[in-house]
């Protein structure tokens, strides 16, 4: 039996270091979600430029565009595993520098790509290749950013600090929507379709350079430095043997002072073989990753359905104009942004479970009334605007505490990898496929309520997984 080992370095960072970590962790995440938002908002224009061969229909092109969208998401778990391993071995700082460089270069190149009319079938393949690079880098972004934010967070404020990761998601999506709305207003339709859509992608270059400068000034987290010292001395691996990243042993009686990270054992004549000891933690990490993905399922599905897929749904299914769809999306993202920081702070007081379960249940309850209101031609513009604002706000109840909840599931030695993979897997399946699934099923069935069915089912499953959270996780130190 082992005594729980906590990261006593948590909260010891000086306030300027913690604030610098918060900004450096947030800025790369902003760029990532700005780009993903832009791609979603311009999906119909990208479809026309890259995925419409002679004789192809508009809906087929849109499905192909969302297939490329989904493909990038399926490379996110690969990036999470690859860069998570790097981040847990060589450090959070150098890994975060690398991923923001990759994202910046790939996104800028999308703005320079030749279209189908220029190079034919090569155009969608080039776009897809760059989307894969984006997926890899985005997969490495979340785990590192959340690790930095939560490992630098003062005691009792992990929910608030981690919420900034989700808040920059909202800011990125709002930035993308705002840019799209601005271009749709100042440019003609032919200008927007011809070259205007490139501008938001090209804007990533100066943003990425600013992010790079901030991350070059970032310091390594105290938690990682402590774990690295213990790993080099051999104590870290011993302290972690046999412990689940999701469950802790009950506190044991203290029979005397022991070094930090040392194992405290009872009468145990037999010592497990090395291969058994190392296999058990690996299985527990895999279980925690799967559980974490389940807890995020509702957030991933509802977030992308209401915040990213909404413009194309309103245009292709409800015959809204591009400007009307963007206004609705901006309102939804404003609601999302408005609730994230308060939700994260509230979870530091009442716990992650209470806030996230409330969010998942509210999304499931409101999904059908929201769509009914949007589909009703007699509904006022104000009522529709209020509805999408509220939809975004309830998703924020899950997004605010989510990063801290994930960070608390994994010890320092696998935190970057574990929480990054849980998030990436959930997003790959339930976010990246949202547009593809919704568009294709509506095409086949003609049922325009498919978005509501999608978020209700995923939030129901997510609620069950969230109920397994302990009520006092927010009060415990991060695992070492």
Q: Using H for helix, E for strand and C for coil, what is the string for 198-225? A: HHHHHCHHHHHHHHHHHHHCCCCCHHHH
Helix H segments across 217-351? 222-233, 235-240, 274-307, 310-316, 322-350
The pLDDT value recorded for residue 235 is: 56
pLDDT digits (tens, 9 = 90+) for 92-102: 999 999 999 99
Selected from 3.40.640.10, 3.30.530.20, 1.20.1250.20, 3.40.50.80, the CATH number assigned to the domain covering 15-223+280-475 reads 1.20.1250.20
How many Cα atoms occupy the beta-carbon half-sphere of 177 within 13 Å? 24
Nearest to 68 by CA among 118, 113, 119, 117: 113
Q: What is the pLDDT of residue 299?
A: 93
Q: What is the pLDDT of residue 144?
A: 92
Q: Which residues of the chain have a pLDDT value below 50?
A: 1-12, 237-244, 247-278, 280
- Are 168 and 149 in contact by the 8 Å Cβ rule? The answer is no
Residues 436, 438, 439, CA angle at the centre, nearest 5°?
65
For position 245, what pLDDT does the model report?
52
What predicted TM-score, i.e. pTM, was given to this entire model? Answer: 0.78
Give the per-residue pLDDT at 312.
Answer: 67
- The DSSP letter of residue 54 is T
Please give the angle made by the CA atoms of 341, 101 and 140, to the nearest 5 degrees.
55
pLDDT at residue 438 in the model: 80
Cα–Cα distance, 348 to 449 (Å, whole number): 36
Phi first, then psi, for residue 243 (nearest 5°) are: -95, 140
Alpha-carbon dihedral sign for residues 111, 114, 116, 118: positive
In angstroms, the CA 118 to CA 475 distance is: 58
């Amino acid at each position: 039996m082992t005594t729980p080992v906590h990261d006593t370095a948590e909260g010891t960072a000086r306030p300027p270091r913690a604030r610098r970590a918060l900004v450096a962790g947030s800025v790369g995440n902003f760029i990532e979600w700005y780009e993903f938002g832009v791609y979603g908002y311009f999906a119909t224009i990208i479809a026309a430029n890259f995925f419409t061969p002679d004789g192809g229909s508009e809906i087929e092109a849109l499905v192909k565009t969302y297939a490329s969208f989904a493909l990038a998401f399926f490379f996110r778990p690969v990036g999470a595993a690859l860069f998570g391993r790097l981040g847990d071995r060589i450090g959070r700082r150098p890994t975060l520098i690398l991923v923001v460089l990759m994202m910046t270069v790939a996104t800028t190149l999308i703005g320079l790509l030749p279209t189908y009319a220029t190079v034919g079938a090569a155009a969608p393949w080039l776009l897809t290749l760059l989307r894969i690079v984006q997926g890899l880098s985005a997969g490495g972004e979340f785990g590192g950013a959340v690790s930095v934010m939560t490992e630098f967070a003062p005691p009792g404020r992990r929910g608030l600090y981690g919420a900034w990761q989700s808040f920059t998601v909202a800011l990125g999506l709002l930035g993308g929507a705002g840019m799209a709305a601005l271009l749709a207003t100042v440019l003609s339709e032919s200008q927007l379709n011809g070259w205007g859509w490139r501008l938001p992608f090209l804007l990533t270059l100066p943003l990425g350079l600013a992010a790079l400068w901030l991350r070059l000034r970032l310091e390594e987290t105290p938690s990682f430095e402590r774990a690295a010292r213990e790993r080099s001395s051999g104590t870290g691996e011993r302290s972690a043997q046999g412990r689940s990243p999701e469950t802790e042993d009950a506190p044991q009686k203290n029979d005397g002072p022991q070094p930090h990270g040392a194992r405290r054992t009872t009468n145990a004549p037999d010592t497990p073989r090395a291969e058994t000891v190392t296999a058990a933690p690996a299985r527990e990490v895999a279980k925690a990753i799967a559980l974490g993905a389940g807890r995020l399922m509702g957030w991933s599905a509802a977030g992308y359905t209401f915040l990213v897929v909404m413009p194309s749904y309103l245009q292709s299914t409800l015959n809204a104009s591009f400007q009307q769809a963007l206004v609705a999306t901006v309102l939804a993202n404003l609601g999302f942004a408005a609730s994230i920081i308060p939700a994260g702070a509230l979870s530091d007081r009442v716990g992650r479970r209470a806030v996230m379960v409330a969010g998942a249940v509210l999304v499931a309850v409101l999904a059908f009334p929201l769509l009914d209101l949007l589909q009703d031609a007699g509904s006022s513009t104000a009522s529709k605007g209020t509805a999408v604002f509220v939809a975004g706000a309830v998703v924020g109840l899950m997004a605010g505490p989510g990063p801290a909840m994930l960070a608390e599931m994994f010890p320092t030695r696998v935190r970057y990898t574990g929480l990054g993979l849980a998030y990436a897997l959930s997003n790959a399946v339930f976010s990246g496929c949202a547009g593809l699934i919704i568009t294709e099923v509506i095409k086949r069935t003609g049922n325009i309520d498919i978005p509501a069915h999608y978020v209700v089912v995923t939030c129901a499953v997510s609620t069950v997984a969230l109920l397994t959270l302990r009520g006092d996780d927010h009060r415990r130190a991060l695992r070492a």
